[in-house]
């Protein structure tokens, strides 16, 4: 993505976000140029880019829907990340006594990575290797949190309902629903379930 000052940055995103982007690219028939485009009342996608005021309008409308009336642009950046860290994200995605070690690890890497990137943002003496280190650390946090967030999001079971195996994977299936859906798949027997409260609803 092209960031402030014309700098091009690589941003790691979960698979479901990439699937959503692919769905939009196919629906809008976009092969090049800007990802966010203006859409007319008839559904026509225009060639011009979506202006910043239009994006801000969408954000404001979405904020009102969840009860947030007043906020600033920076609330969506570092402030948001800081609040998420302080609110105990690791405790949410890795709750329970049996996950104490996992929870401790997630807290440590998120805290240390936050301190590193926050220092890098303001340090005049920071070098390119420092930036590469911060990027690698951030990628590690995202890679570590994503599977835990997915398991918490869909309440994935610890074992397969058919063969009792612990080898479960979470797949994204864009063809199941217009917006796609997550499927819990057993890597041992191949059983699949859309709802984790019905792990025996198997699709062969």
- In the chain, where the domains are located: 4-153, 155-204
pLDDT band at 183 (very low <50, low <70, confident <90, very high): confident
SS3 154: coil
CB count within 10 Å of CB 173 equals 14
DSSP 60: H
Q: Which two tokens stand for residue 37?
A: 């485009």
Helices (H), 37-169: 52-65, 78-86, 89-93, 100-122, 128-153
Is 80 exceeded by the pLDDT of residue 45?
A: no
pTM of the model: 0.50
**At which residue do the structure tokens 């090049």 appear?**
32
Residues 56 and 62: their CA atoms lie apart, in Å, by 10
Lowest mean pLDDT among 12-16, 51-55, 95-99, 119-123: 12-16
- pLDDT digit string (tens) for 91-149? 767 777 777 888 888 888 888 988 888 888 888 888 989 988 988 888 888 888 877 77
As a whole-number percent, the residues of the chain with pLDDT over 90 amount to 5
Long-range contacts of 191-197 (CB under 8 A, 24+ apart): 191/160, 191/161, 191/162, 191/163, 193/161, 196/154, 196/155, 196/156, 196/157, 197/155
pLDDT band at 200 (very low <50, low <70, confident <90, very high): very low
Higher-pLDDT residue of 100 and 13 is: 100
CATH of domain 155-204: 2.20.25
**At which residue do the structure tokens 């859309």 appear?**
194
- pLDDT digit string (tens) for 166-176? 888 888 777 77
The answer to whether residues 176 and 154 touch, using CB atoms and an 8 Å cutoff, is no
Give the pLDDT confidence score for residue 82 in this predicted structure.
61
The gap from C-alpha 26 to its chain's centroid, in whole angstroms, comes to: 21
DSSP element (H, E) containing 15: helix 15-28
Q: Which two tokens stand for residue 11?
A: 């941003």
Residues 36 and 110: their CA atoms lie apart, in Å, by 30
């Amino acid at each position: 993505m092209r960031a402030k000052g014309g700098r091009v940055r690589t941003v790691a995103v979960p698979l479901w976000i990439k699937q959503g982007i692919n769905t939009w690219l196919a629906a809008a028939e976009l092969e090049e140029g800007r990802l966010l485009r203006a859409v007319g009342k008839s559904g026509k996608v225009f060639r011009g880019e979506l202006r910043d005021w239009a994006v801000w309008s969408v954000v404001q409308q979405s904020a009102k829907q969840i009860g947030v009336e007043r906020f600033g642009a920076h609330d969506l950046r570092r402030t948001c990340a800081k609040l998420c860290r302080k609110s105990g994200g690791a405790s949410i995605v890795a709750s329970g006594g049996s996950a104490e070690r996992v929870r401790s690890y997630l807290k440590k890497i998120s805290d240390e990575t936050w301190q590193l990137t926050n220092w890098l943002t303001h340090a005049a003496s920071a070098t390119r290797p420092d930036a590469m280190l911060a990027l690698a650390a951030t990628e590690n946090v995202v890679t570590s949190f994503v599977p835990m967030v997915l398991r918490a999001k869909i309440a994935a079971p610890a074992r397969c309902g058919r063969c009792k195996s612990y080898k479960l994977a979470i797949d994204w299936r864009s063809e199941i629903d217009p917006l796609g859906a997550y499927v819990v798949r057993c890597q041992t027997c191949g059983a699949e379930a859309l709802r984790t409260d019905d792990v025996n609803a198997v699709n062969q």
